[in-house]
Amino acid sequence: MKGCTANEQLTKLLKEEVDVLFHKPRLVKKKKIRPTQFHRERSLYDWLGFNYLDEFLERYSDLYKGTLVDLGCGEAPYKPYFLQFVDKYVGVDWVESAQYKPDVISDLNRKIDLPDDFADTLISISVLEHLCEPQRFLNECFRILKKGGYMFIQVPWQWTVHSPPHDYFRYTPFALDYMLRKSGFIDIKVEPAGGIFSTIVLKLNYLSLRLIRGPLYVRLLVKYVLVPFWTMGQLFAPLLDKLDKRKINEAPGYFVIARKPF
């Protein structure tokens, strides 16, 4: 019996040695960071819009490379996500926020303080509507992007006025295509961020939030009651959007991808 046990132990040891010599070590799959995972504005009443952004940015993750410039980076909430794919992240914005100091401080309505052909990848999330000189901004994007590089843009469409008084424009898909082509970009693709049902649900959620009144404990109680309605609406809206055959016309916003030619 003892000899049998010894043989089993020897066999086990030999197997472990063979595994070490001839097999690759078992890799533990690391959980990827999602684009909006660290965005402090993601809330119970509007996470649907952030989910659409996650899906868009994750769909094109194989195109992110080299030096990525985030134009209008704010507090750089997307930095951890993009650093999974690129060699360097450069945040550009007007002023320093309390939470994040941009790598480059530059007025995006004027000449951006970066050299020609600097970036391999450009992103601009919820920025274009806040620029009083959007065409000049896109011209500058074309200048600082390397040949063959991609630019990724997100803009609102059916959305409330925000960050007043610096909220200047809303862009149709045709305007986005025209302005990017005018700057020199090619292979332009505009995608809707949801359809009419997503628009309705998000607007109703924001409206219900604005209508809450009373002392703090009353407001907290009302929010607690509203959470199931907010959640159900955001769960069912993408399913109902499938009925909307022209959802690009009534989307809450748009995603854009464009390329600088070689």
Report angle CA 252, 258, 262 to the nearest 5 degrees: 180
Give 7-32 pLDDT, tens digit per residue: 555 455 445 443 433 444 444 446 68
Give 169-194 pLDDT, tens digit per residue: 999 999 999 999 999 999 999 999 99
Note the pLDDT of residue 185: 98
- What is the separation, in whole angstroms, between the first and last Cα of the chain? 75
Whether 203 has a pLDDT exceeding 80, the answer reads yes
Give 207-217 pLDDT, tens digit per residue: 999 999 999 98
Full DSSP string of 143-157: HHEEEEEEEEEEEES
Note the pLDDT of residue 2: 42
How far apart, in Å, are the Cα atoms of 150 and each of 89, 110, 186, 206, 257? 15, 21, 10, 33, 7
Note the pLDDT of residue 140: 98
How, if at all, do strands 104-105 and 88-93 pair? Answer: parallel
CB atoms closer than 10 angstroms to residue 159: 19
Least confident of 88-92, 132-136, 212-216, 237-241: 212-216
